[in-house]
Amino acid sequence: METVEMNSVSLKRPHSEDDVANADEIKRQKTSEKSKTGNDSGQSIVTEQPDKSLLENTKNEIIPNEESEEQEDEELEDSDEDGDPESFADMMKHGLTESDVGITKFVSCHKGFSGILKERYSDFVVHEIGKDGRVSHLDDFSVPVDDEVNLEDPSEETFTVLSDEDKQRLEELQLLKNKETSVAIEVIEDTKEKRTVIHQVVKSLFPGLETKTEDRDGKKYIIAYHAAGKKALANPRKHSWPKSRGSYCHFVLYKENKDTMDAINVLSKFLRVKPNIFSYMGTKDKRAITVQEIAVLRITAQRLAHLNKCLMNFKLGNFSYKNHPLKLGELQGNHFTVVLRNITGTDDQIEQAMHSLREIGFINYYGMQRFGTTAVPTYQIGRAILQNNWNEVMDLILKPRPGAEKGYLVKCREEWAKTKDPAAALRKLPVKRCVEGQLLRGLLKYGMKNIISAFGIIPRNNRLMYIHSYQSYVWNNMVSKRIEEYGLRAVAGDLTLKGATAVHIEEGDVDNYTIHDVVMPLPGFDVIYPKHKIGEAYKEMLVADNLDINNMRHKIRDYSLSGAYRKIIIRPQNVNWEVVAYDDPRIPLFNTDLDKLEGKPLPVLPTGKLICQWMFVK
């Protein structure tokens, strides 16, 4: 059962002509349209807007260190070619609206109010809730101690024994980027202790490499080499992992203004491992502060903790070793703390809307982040994958598109449209690990006639994101149609869950169910559909997309859609809100997990009144 907890802080501040002018300048507003089932009364409207005067630094900055190349990549990813931070409003001006992805209905017909959501990314805080009901919090940076000593655990200070040049050569050796079969590191001021430290650091930083000591011309050298070539890199050093330790290090990831998959890519690059050794239960918003559990295969807590000194806007903690990875969907829900700024409407309108949220809940739509921020929605790419139309997949990812994009991506797309030359287009990309760069590298490797293999270079979670987006698109449209057709009541032919099994609600049993019991299927194999008009609507929608609702198995196993069920209406637990006035938008509104760890005082208004209360699962 999915659980959603919410805290909402609605904030009023004095309106001025400047405020109105700023609102008029917004390039992209997320506004809900009409009320449910044809009622034209006003509704709560939430606009997603970053006021440029309030826009926080959205770059995932990296402290200058030996990873200067990583720093350059990160800055390029989050800036345009002139180095200016990219405007969120500009990014969204050609993006999608709710109606584009099937979000068209409301659960209530009260007057409602309007406000701005995510004016600052710190206005939206998400904590993951695990299957056991435990809310994930970052509250401990300590590293667990094993009974068994492991050579992969050097102290923090020892990482300086390798020069930048040594690290570069070792990385190239590890990734098989050159023809060298080994790298020799001279041991200056030779002692056994010094040699031991170098052995430890090389094995810690570069999984897949082994080391030995050699005498050459009267000098001691540490020789690093591949124990088993590419196999060792793909499956790092099983033999060195203590048997008493779980194979997966679980940790809590606190991140600011970065989505989950981007965060994994950054962590994997710094750890010099492949992204697919990480697992998680759900993807979290980019424009937010989020806290979630991550698991990684055979990477020590100490190596992960070391990243806290290298990265900003990320923090890792609450480490533990377990014998299992995490799986998508294995969470109970999320706890939200949300700030709505510049709210308009009377106190009664606000109270009505918030009471409706608490008592009725909300339509459980998939949110806009599921569908991308550009003029090419991710669900279109997913549909092309399911249709086995690989030329269209390639075209949708690489073709020029309207709207604000980073300058180098625009040039890359223009080059592709002009030449269809992967090498020429790739040269326009200073950052190669974006989806476009990964696909172009795949086309270079496998050729234009093997797009399937080229696409397969993209990390699996990124590839599956596209087909899940299509599932979400269908689901949103079908739920809107279901509510339009039957309203907010259970009807005969609806589906409900009994345990893990979906069953139809029979005519004589309807009075025993409410809309909160009704589920709708995500299209895929091994699911059933409602026994009323909406069941036929599913079929019609997939037929229009040249897909067979009775055969969602793809010839490539990864792209076979397994079905699932999702509640139509979610009633959040422990909803709590407060409306306050303020005159300084820079005042923090509540403490994050990181604020608490750093001992920052509780945020207060000038009057000393607390802004927000935190609510937890009972």
Active site residues: 285
Asked if residue 412 lies in contact with residue 436, where contact means CB atoms within 8 angstroms, the answer is: yes
* DSSP sequence for 305-352: HHGGGTBSSEEEEEEEEES----TT-EEEEEEEEEEEEEES-HHHHHH
Count the helices and strands in the chain (H runs, E runs). 18, 19
Backbone region of residue 345 per phi and psi (left: phi > 0; alpha: psi in -120 to 50; beta: other values): left
Rounded Cα distance between 561 and 577, Å, is 39
Contacts 24+ apart (CB under 8 A), 79-85: 79/406, 80/406, 80/407, 81/406, 81/407, 81/408, 82/407, 85/55, 85/57, 85/58, 85/59
Within 8 A by CB and 6+ apart from 381, the residues are: 393, 396, 397, 466, 469
Using CA atoms, how far residue 554 sits from 305, 393, 548, in Å, is 41, 15, 11
Q: What is the DSSP-derived secondary structure letter of residue 603? A: P
> CA geometry: angle at 154 spanning 152 and 160, to 5°?
125
Give the integer Cα–Cα distance in Å for 86 and 257: 13
What b/e readout covers 401-428, taking b as 16+ CB neighbours within 10 angstroms? eebbbbbbbbbbbebbeeeeebeebbeb
* β-sheet bridge partners, residue 79: 85
Name residues whose C-beta falls within 8 Å of residue 590's C-beta, 6 or more positions apart in sequence: 9, 125, 337, 603, 611, 612, 614
